[in-house]
Amino acid sequence: MRQSRLVPNVIRWIVIALLIVGGLAMVFPLVWLVSTSLRPAPELLLVPPRLLPQHWTLDNYTKAFASAPLLLYLWNSFVFAMISTVFILLTSTVAGYVFAKFSFPGNNVLFMLVLATAIVPFEIYMVPLFLQVNALKLVNTQIGLVLPFLVLSYGIFFMRQNTLTSVPDELLDAARIDGMSETGIMLRFVPRLLAPAISALAILAFIQAWTAFIWPLLILNKPVLFPMELGLSQFANTRVDFGLTSAGAVIAMLPTLIAFLFLRRRIVEGITLTGLRG
Amino acid sequence: MRTGWKKTLALIAGVGLAIGACGPGATPSPSAPGASSSAAAPGGSTAASPSAVANACGDAPITLNVWGGYPEMDAVYKKAGEAYTALHPNVTFTIFSTDLRGFEQKLTTALPSNTAGDVVIRTANFLARFIDQGLLAPIPPDLEAFIKGGAYSDTDLKDATYKDKIVGVPIFSSGTALYYNKDYFAEAGLSGPPTTMDQIWDYAKKLAKVDGSGNVTRSGISLRLSGQGSGVAEKFWILLLQSGHELVKETSAGHYKADYNGPEGVTLFQHYVDALRDKIDSPNIDHDAKAFETKVTAMFAREPWVVAEIATAAPDLVGHYGSISLPVADLGATETMYVPTSAPNAACSWDFIKFLTAPEQQLTIPPTAGWLPSRKDLDLSAFLAANPGYEGFLKKPSGLKVSLTPPIAEFDELETKLATHLVDAYADYANLAGKPDKIQTMLNTWADETNQILTTNGHGS
Amino acid sequence: MIHPVQAIRAVPRRTWLRYRFVFLVLAPIMALFFYLRILPTATAVVMSFFKWELIKPAEQFLGLDNYSNLLKDDNFRLAFFNTTIFAVATTILSVLLALLLATLLARLVGGRIGAGIELLYFAPVLVSVVPVTLGWREIFNYQHGVLNALLGGVGIGPQPWLSDPTMTLVAVIILSVWKQLGYNMIILLVGMRAIPRIYQEAAAVDGAGAWQQFRHITLPLLAPVTLFVIVITTISSYNVFTQVYVLASDVQGAPGKLVRVIVYDIFENGFRFFKMGYAAAEAVYLFLIVIVLTIIQFRFLRGSRV
């Protein structure tokens, strides 16, 4: 990775040290959460609180897996998040590209409309949306669950902005002159240029679906269909079982962590393909 | 890269499918039949529950969805479900519960769209609107006769009544008692828990501790000073009841008026701000159950679930605390059971509800969930002996008056708005302590708003 | 008066093909949008002119009553005030800090260390809001919380993070910046790394220093992505709800002070008081405020076709 040789090494190491200190402060609440998940119930209310438990225990985790079909919930969340992510990536990349690189009557208006839908809080349109989905008889189904998560206004906005930054017109013209079809450009050429952005959007879409709670709560009745967050809220009486809730939160966090680690390399690798040639 | 992406996604999907194929089956296995509940049979005679009808549930496999708003009751419903399946092997259960806020949102979308469960458990109060819309079925006559037959207290019956009809079947009830720390009481030289309001305030003063920098390190009594929703007003109401006043008083049938801005209301409010001024309690110290469990308060008033929490989260407190009934009055609430009108297996659902009223099932509630059963004709003496923390809930002074939430739809709104005002006023205690006139004016302003809300909804006096 | 058929024929074929392409691509996506977002929102907006109690069908047409009553409503005014302060503070803090982080990580730190640091700052985004907010409640605790302990270590007295009205707002801001920072950082990093190297190399050849490179090349080219981050942080700040709800709930110990924000007020009006039409009007106000802010932000950051 290129380093700027204009900045002396000493400063560089000081900056790194400061960043690490800041980073540790950032993860402190998470460390605390993990520590809580490893505590037995009587240690939850220690005064003054201790960071590390006196008696380490995996009880919360065994209890979590015993009181609810967590693997099933994890699987449901995984399917849900994957479908949502794929659709969001597809619709966002394609629409973002079109909004950014094509002039046509209504471009701005439509885009503003898309952006406007991002502003409205979910609490407001969730009831009419529920009634719509109910009219389609999709309540308590997997399709009904995933439906609102097939598009993401932010996604379109994000890909449009990234297209503006990373896809120069010249490159597009060159591809057209080379004989590529518009569809080919849209589905093969442009995404290659936008790989880092696509990876970033993938993570964000995945996390959004993974941590969704209210819509699954409204649309699902059968526990067999529950995703993680909803499943967790079922058995945890958060008053007494904060250890249990924390264990659930840690379990829920791991897949998103893995997804991030997996996708992060793509964000870095993407840079080698940009740049105008010659 | 795009094709590379597709391959990666396909790989993930494939791995995922493989995991899914090896993972748990698609449907959770039904609770094993044969396990019946283990609570001790009640001593003495009790009114017999209507016997479960042999074939209300037919022979075809049925799954009943039980919806409740208190996750700690899940274990109770589950055990009851297992016992019921032992009698009716074709019936299995799924229990759905979530915290109260989520539950209320869920009911609001599910009931009107006919996608709700088979058995719904909530207060008659909250469900009043739904009852108005005909979304909840009326109780079958035989069950209604049983309910009126003496197994339940008048208060429970009243709380289950809406528009002069009993609408729900009581299952578990709540009340408030005063928890007190015996060690702190002994240390302050107090021989026993307080039995009058004056004693409560007096003892609180003696029990509070302040450190060198003027910070309260132990509150004499832990008051509810902040929080969202209507809790702050509800706790104020409970203490107000001790002086014979309500938040809103029924002046004539269906008409109400604010009742908290009289001299007793002013006095109670003064106690609050004086307590803050005199460092008996403080906004900066922990409050509520947590404070009691970490021993930074000597007294506080709450519902029975705290006993169960102390047993798990603060076991060193067991034996060192007690609970005593409030002196004059209490605020009661009864959770009741319903069957939505759209439920497909109504007869079976009602049968299960009948099953839950049986003494054996009622008696599983306290040890499992910490709440108290609604039936008053059960013998809980053995339970009380084993769990003395419940004393304040089971031993009530004769003549204790139990108040209920008025069956008006706008009560939640006016209680919540009052709570918002109280929170702001408590924060301003320095300017209000010792100024009864100012307090009176303030309460009057709030009462105007309360009365306005009542009038707008047709319940003004 | 132009004859329509002649007008259509006057459009060059390439343009026509272009329009057709755009239509084929956008139509299905916009159809989904319409069904999933625009239609339910429009329903809610229509309901804002009625007395809608959620369970019953709407009965009474109220015209603009909901809107005018809101303007007189103390709770709404307080919510608007709190939310605006919160949104401004959170946006400024989280965007500037994210920009700083992204720059340092893109230019100064690299390789494994950089990856590790990115993970540390991004981790808060991965965890569910409710349990972690309960954890933050402990951190903000007056007597035993870590924050007050640290402040004590440098000689500052303990702060009433969850009881004082102002401090509670500050606490929610801290919590939200904490959660938002990593999100913004990743997006800005992606944007930065996407800037073709060749521009910076050319500038370096011309003798420009690190700071000049940053100010005249990176920053302007980053403008579209920076605009994105500012806009979405503003939008999500105006939509803050769960953290505020959890901090003030009586689950797991004593509740903190409630910071009344707009979406909390909407939730309370709609789902507690069942005044859904009123809540919908409130949402329309929220929408208008944010769209105005967004348009201002677009204008302000207008660079090369932002």
The Cα B362–Cα B170 span in angstroms is: 10
Binary contact (C120, A248; C-beta < 8 A): no
Look at residue B50 in the predicted model and tell me its pLDDT.
63
CB-nearest to B314 from A42, A218, A234 is A42
**Cβ neighbours of residue C105 closer than 8 Å, sequence gap 6 or more:** A19, C114, C117, C118, C185, C189
CB-nearest to B108 from C54, C252, C254 is C54
Q: Which two tokens stand for residue A49?
A: 């609180």
Look at residue C253 in the predicted model and tell me its pLDDT.
60
Mean per-residue pLDDT for C155-164?
86
What does the pLDDT look like over B56-105, one tens digit per residue?
A: 888 899 999 999 888 888 889 999 999 999 999 999 998 888 777 778 88
- For C115, the enclosing helix (H) or strand (E) is helix C111-126
Whether the CB of B217 is below 8 Å from some CB of chain A: the reply is no
Same-domain pairing of C16 and C116 = no
Look at residue A239 in the predicted model and tell me its pLDDT.
56
Whether the CB of A140 is below 8 Å from some CB of chain B: the reply is yes
Look at residue A47 in the predicted model and tell me its pLDDT.
65
- For B368, the enclosing helix (H) or strand (E) is helix B365-369
Q: Say which CATH class A68-273 falls into.
A: mainly alpha
CB-nearest to B284 from C55, C163, C255 is C163
DSSP state, B317? G
Chain B residue with Cα closest to A222:
B94
Say whether B421 sits in a helix, a strand or coil. helix
Contact A192/A203 with Cβ under 8 angstroms? no
C38 closest CA partner among B109, A132, A206? A132
Look at residue B279 in the predicted model and tell me its pLDDT.
94
Chain C residue with Cα closest to B409:
C273
Strands C50-51 and C60-61: antiparallel
Considering only B95-104, B222-231, C47-56, which range has the smallest mean pLDDT? B95-104
What does the pLDDT look like over B167-208, one tens digit per residue?
A: 999 999 999 999 999 999 999 999 999 999 999 999 999 999
Contact B354/B50 with Cβ under 8 angstroms? yes
CB contacts of B16 in chain A (<8 Å) are 75, 78-79, 82
- For B217, the enclosing helix (H) or strand (E) is strand B216-218
Look at residue C256 in the predicted model and tell me its pLDDT.
78
CB contacts of B427 in chain C (<8 Å) are 163-165, 257
B139 closest CA partner among B336, B398, B426? B336
Look at residue A278 in the predicted model and tell me its pLDDT.
25
A44 closest CA partner among B318, B306, B310, C247? B310
Whether the CB of A94 is below 8 Å from some CB of chain B: the reply is no
Binary contact (B20, A75; C-beta < 8 A): yes
Say whether C171 sits in a helix, a strand or coil. helix
- List the end-to-end C-alpha distance of chain C, in Å, as a whole number: 36
CB contacts of A186 in chain C (<8 Å) are 25
Binary contact (C41, A260; C-beta < 8 A): no
CB-nearest to C225 from A32, A161, A257 is A161
Considering only A228-242, B40-54, B129-143, B175-189, which range has the smallest mean pLDDT? B40-54
The two domains B62-175+333-394 and B177-332+398-456 share their CATH topology (first three levels equal): yes
Strands B209-210 and B401-403: unpaired
B123 closest CA partner among B96, B95, B101, B156? B156
The Cα B412–Cα B338 span in angstroms is: 21
The Cα A139–Cα B310 span in angstroms is: 40
Suggest the residue from A132, A240, A246, A262 to mutate for an interface test with chain B (most B CBs closer than 10 A).
Answer: A240
Q: Look at residue B272 and tell me whether its pLDDT is greater than 80.
A: yes
Binary contact (A47, B94; C-beta < 8 A): no
| Regions of chain A where pLDDT drops below 70 | 1-7, 46-49, 235-240, 266-278
Alpha helices in B215-285 (DSSP H): 231-241, 263-277
Q: Is residue C52 part of a domain?
A: no
Q: Look at residue B22 and tell me whether its pLDDT is greater than 80.
A: no
Q: Which two tokens stand for residue C229?
A: 């981050």
ipTM of this predicted structure: 0.82
Whether the CB of B303 is below 8 Å from some CB of chain C: the reply is no
Binary contact (C141, B286; C-beta < 8 A): yes
A245 closest CA partner among A256, A257, A234? A234
DSSP state, B248? E
Q: Say which CATH class B177-332+398-456 falls into.
A: alpha beta
Look at residue A39 in the predicted model and tell me its pLDDT.
85
The Cα C117–Cα B286 span in angstroms is: 36
Residues forming beta bridges with residue B302, ordered by sequence position: B177
Q: Nearest CA of chain C to the CA of A177: how many Å?
A: 14
pLDDT category at B212 given cuts 50, 70, 90 is confident
Same-domain pairing of C150 and C294 = yes
**Cβ neighbours of residue B323 closer than 8 Å, sequence gap 6 or more:** B177, B178, B179, B180, B307, B389, B390, B391, B392, B393
Look at residue B16 in the predicted model and tell me its pLDDT.
39
What are the DSSP E strand ranges found in chain C?
50-51, 60-61
Q: Which two tokens stand for residue B273?
A: 């701000």
Q: How many residues does chain C have?
A: 306
Q: Look at residue C246 and tell me whether its pLDDT is greater than 50.
A: yes
The Cα B54–Cα C194 span in angstroms is: 72
The Cα B266–Cα C114 span in angstroms is: 62
Look at residue B257 in the predicted model and tell me its pLDDT.
95
Look at residue A240 in the predicted model and tell me its pLDDT.
58
pLDDT category at C254 given cuts 50, 70, 90 is low
* Residue A48 preceded by cis peptide, ω within 30: yes
The Cα B259–Cα B246 span in angstroms is: 6
Same-domain pairing of C132 and C218 = yes
Residues forming beta bridges with residue B63, ordered by sequence position: B92
pLDDT category at B295 given cuts 50, 70, 90 is very high
Look at residue C243 in the predicted model and tell me its pLDDT.
87
**Residue in the structure block whose two tokens are 């919590």:** C175
Whether the CB of B342 is below 8 Å from some CB of chain C: the reply is no
Look at residue B19 in the predicted model and tell me its pLDDT.
37
Distance of CA B203 to CAs B273, B276, B397, C55, Å?
Answer: 17, 15, 20, 48
CB-nearest to C273 from B105, B288, B413 is B413
3-state secondary structure chain A: CCCCCCCCHHHHHHHHHHHHHHHHHHHHHHHHHHHHHCCCHHHHHCCCCCCCCCCCCCHHHHHHHHHCCHHHHHHHHHHHHHHHHHHHHHHHHHHHHHHHHCCCCCHHHHHHHHHHHHHCCHHHHHHHHHHHHHHCCCCCCHHHHHHHHHCCHHHHHHHHHHHHHHCCHHHHHHHHHCCCCHHHHHHHHHHHHCHHHHHHHHHHHHHHHHCCCHHHHHHCCCHHHCCHHHHHHHHCCCCCCHHHHHHHHHHHHHHHHHHHHHHHHHHHHHHHHCCCCC
Say whether C155 sits in a helix, a strand or coil. coil
User: Would you say the pTM of this structure is higher than 0.80?
Assistant: yes
Q: Is residue C281 part of a domain?
A: yes
Say whether C198 sits in a helix, a strand or coil. helix
Q: Look at residue B12 and tell me whether its pLDDT is greater than 50.
A: no
Q: What is the full DSSP assignment across B115-179?
A: ---SEEEEEHHHHHHHHHTT-BPPPPHHHHHHIIIIIB-HHHHHHTEETTEE-SEEEEEE--EEE
**Residue C17 lies in domain:** 4-47
3-state secondary structure B52-73: CCCCCCCCCCEEEEEEECCHHH
Same-domain pairing of C40 and C142 = no
Residues 77-106 of B with CB under 8 A from C: 99, 101, 104-105
Backbone angles phi, psi at C153, to 5 degrees: -60, -30
CB contacts of A158 in chain C (<8 Å) are 187, 228
- For C213, the enclosing helix (H) or strand (E) is helix C210-213
pLDDT category at B166 given cuts 50, 70, 90 is very high
Suggest the residue from A36, A132, A239, A241 to mutate for an interface test with chain B (most B CBs closer than 10 A).
Answer: A239
Considering only A63-72, B159-168, B406-415, which range has the smallest mean pLDDT? A63-72
Highest mean pLDDT among A143-152, B128-137, C193-202, C251-260: A143-152
Residue spans per domain, chain A: 1-57, 68-273
Contact A115/A153 with Cβ under 8 angstroms? yes
Look at residue B38 in the predicted model and tell me its pLDDT.
32
pLDDT category at C8 given cuts 50, 70, 90 is low
The Cα B194–Cα B323 span in angstroms is: 10
Whether the CB of C73 is below 8 Å from some CB of chain B: the reply is no
C179 closest CA partner among C127, C115, C116? C127
Look at residue C3 in the predicted model and tell me its pLDDT.
74
Residue spans per domain, chain B: 62-175+333-394, 177-332+398-456
Chain-centroid distance, C-alpha B148: 23
User: What's the half-sphere exposure (Cβ side, CA atoms, 13 Å) at B91?
Assistant: 25
CB contacts of C197 in chain A (<8 Å) are 271, 274-275
A231 closest CA partner among A79, A83, A75? A75
B371 closest CA partner among A239, A159, C73, A58? A239
Q: Which two tokens stand for residue B30?
A: 């039904």
Q: Look at residue B155 and tell me whether its pLDDT is greater than 70.
A: yes
What does the pLDDT look like over C19-33, one tens digit per residue?
A: 888 999 999 999 999
Contact C285/C266 with Cβ under 8 angstroms? no
Same-domain pairing of C76 and C10 = no
Q: Say which CATH class B62-175+333-394 falls into.
A: alpha beta
Same-domain pairing of C8 and C156 = no
Residues forming beta bridges with residue B68, ordered by sequence position: B97, B121
The Cα B312–Cα B293 span in angstroms is: 11
Contact B405/B336 with Cβ under 8 angstroms? no
Q: Nearest CA of chain C to the CA of A173: how many Å?
A: 14
**CA angle, corner A124, sides to A118 and A128, nearest 5?**
105
Whether the CB of C205 is below 8 Å from some CB of chain B: the reply is no
**Residue in the structure block whose two tokens are 């039904």:** B30
Q: Look at residue B13 and tell me whether its pLDDT is greater than 90.
A: no
Mean pLDDT taken over chain B: 86
Chain-centroid distance, C-alpha A238: 25
